[in-house]
Structure 1
Amino acid sequence: MSPSAIGAFARAHDPDRFLCALFAPAEKREAIFALIAFNHELARAREATSNPMAALIRLQWWRDAVEEARAGRPARRHEVAAPLHAAIAAGLLDADALIALVDARDAETEEGGLATEEAFVAWLRGTAGGWSAAAGAALGADAEACEVLRALGAAYGLAGVLRSVAAHASQGRCLLPVDRLAASGLRPAQVMEKPGDAALGALLREMAAEGLAALAGARRDVPPGAIAAALPVVLARRDLARIARGHGPGGRGLGDRLAVSWAGLRHRV
């Protein structure tokens, strides 16, 4: 069976989460695809614009789209907004959780980047962590389980940032915490100019090892029906281990896909 339009969009723009979503119950899968696509559009708000104000305008557009769906107003004519509207209207996605995802992206528009490690962690928990929590809620997880999912999702966000330093640098962006960079004698401008710097490489290895240690002590008990929301942490663990060993991010391989599939079939991460 060919994927739906929103499923095809999710697969094209976020293949990691698309693979994970395949382990959601069939009746919830379209809503998870819409959530993946929505998250992609939010992530693009800053990278696809030339200045922070333009990014804020894009984010507000999505806030308005969510609020209109909540209020029962007609869906916007947009390939992602329309299926998102349908999922909200059907009660499959929570509007408050979606607004929180938009709000978390505001931090990316601040001049000077994320100033502290505390702000960085809050951003990870609100963005990638917020996606996993929202997906978990859509899949029937209770509030306590959603907080477990938030922590697991934040680990996937950390791995994504560490894997994408060079890609962000090519966009003129640095999402690493400024205070942590300073402790290694680095500034965001240096990272954007020389993403292959040795001191930066040492910092990335250090942060990856810390992420792995945090995961080792994290709760991973989520309801079987919500396993799709937890599966990104399988990839996070593998990515962080690679980076901690000093390997480049590389692309996704068969081993990654098999690891996600095995965890999904066992309902354990």
Structure 2
Amino acid sequence: MAEPPLSPLGAFARQHDPDRYLAAIFAPPAKREAFFALIAFNHELARAREAASTQIATLIRLQWWRDAVAEAAEGRPARRHEVAGPLHAAITSGALEAAALAALVDAREVEAEPEGIPTREAFGAFLRAGAGGMALAAARLLEAPDAALPLVQRLGALQGLAGVLRSVPAHAAQGRCLLPHDALAEAGLTAEAVIAEPARAEPLRRALAEEGAATLAKARAEALPRAALPAVLPVVLASRDLARIAAGRPVPHPRGLGDRLALMLRGLRGRA
């Protein structure tokens, strides 16, 4: 039987988060629209800081989404928005948990803080709550067993690490730096120095990528239920990105055929 045509929400997910979109293709067909809604929601949260010029403006955008989630949980009408509408449907149907979505909103507030992320410990907490929380929400949507969720969150956090390291130049262009201040200080840097000249962070980026790649290799060796696979499949790409950054090589954007095939082959084999 032929696959149904891609929905507008699926097209949105493919355009704005192609890595997670490719992973969502491996979800059961009945779960895909809710998965696309989750991906789109996560993209809108990421845009909150990118599209705002001040901390207050970022927090207002995040509050808008927090309210949209709460209203859906209370059974109130959906907001008129291309993502809020499908998200509302996924929450009211029980496919997505409002509490997990609200936690994703909370995780993004760190990005609005003008002082940045002070310590490695705080950086780890940010990754676990953000990208790790996104993976958890996806795994719960897919009805992965509870025993798998700690591994899912660790893998998601490592995907988030790859994303932060990949985005150091882009973040600098936006006037921000998400690298932890204590790690910057150990490298003789400040967030302001990285924003002014992102190339100065290259040795630190490479060191963090090497550390992350080793941790990710160990985590990927652990057994993962197949039901949870689509939630963490982007770590295939994170692994490749961390290896590139550690070796001082650029990460292609947009992704090439090799990256896409690597993810799809692992998905077909049922392994992250």
TM-score computed with the length of structure 2 as normaliser = 0.96
- Are residue 131 (structure 1) and residue 134 (structure 2) matched? yes
2:242 maps to which residue? 240
Counterpart position of 1:64: 67
> Which of 26, 43, 47 is matched with 2:46 structurally?
43
| Aligned partner (choices 70, 75, 82) of residue 79 of structure 1 | 82
Aligned-pair CA distance for 1:206: 0.4
Matched position secondary structure for 2:252 = coil
* Residues 143-154 of structure 1: pairs in structure 2 closer than 5 A: 143-154=146-157
The residue type paired with residue 204 of structure 1 is R
Structure 1 partner of 2:93? 90
Aligned residues: 267
> Structure 2: 5+ residue runs without aligned partners?
none
Q: Give CA deviations for 1:206-234 in whole Å, capped at 9, x if unaligned.
A: 00010011112225422212211010111
Question: Considering only aligned residues, what root-mean-square deviation do their CA atoms show, in Å?
Answer: 1.0
Q: Map of 1:187-266 to 2, 5 A cutoff? A: 187-197=190-200, 200-218=201-219, 220-251=222-253, 252-266=255-269
AA aligned opposite 2:100: A
2:116 pairs with 1:113 = yes
TM-score, length-scaled by structure 1 = 0.97
Matches of 2:114 and 2:245, distance apart in 1: 28
Q: Secondary structure at the match of 1:196?
A: helix
Deviations 1:113-146 (A, max 9, x none): 0011111110011111111110000000122212
Matched AA of 1:79: E
User: Percent same amino acid at aligned positions?
Assistant: 61
Deviation of residue 3 (structure 1)? Answer: 1.1
Q: Which runs of 5+ in 1 are unaligned?
A: none
CA contact (8 A) 1:134 1:146 kept: no
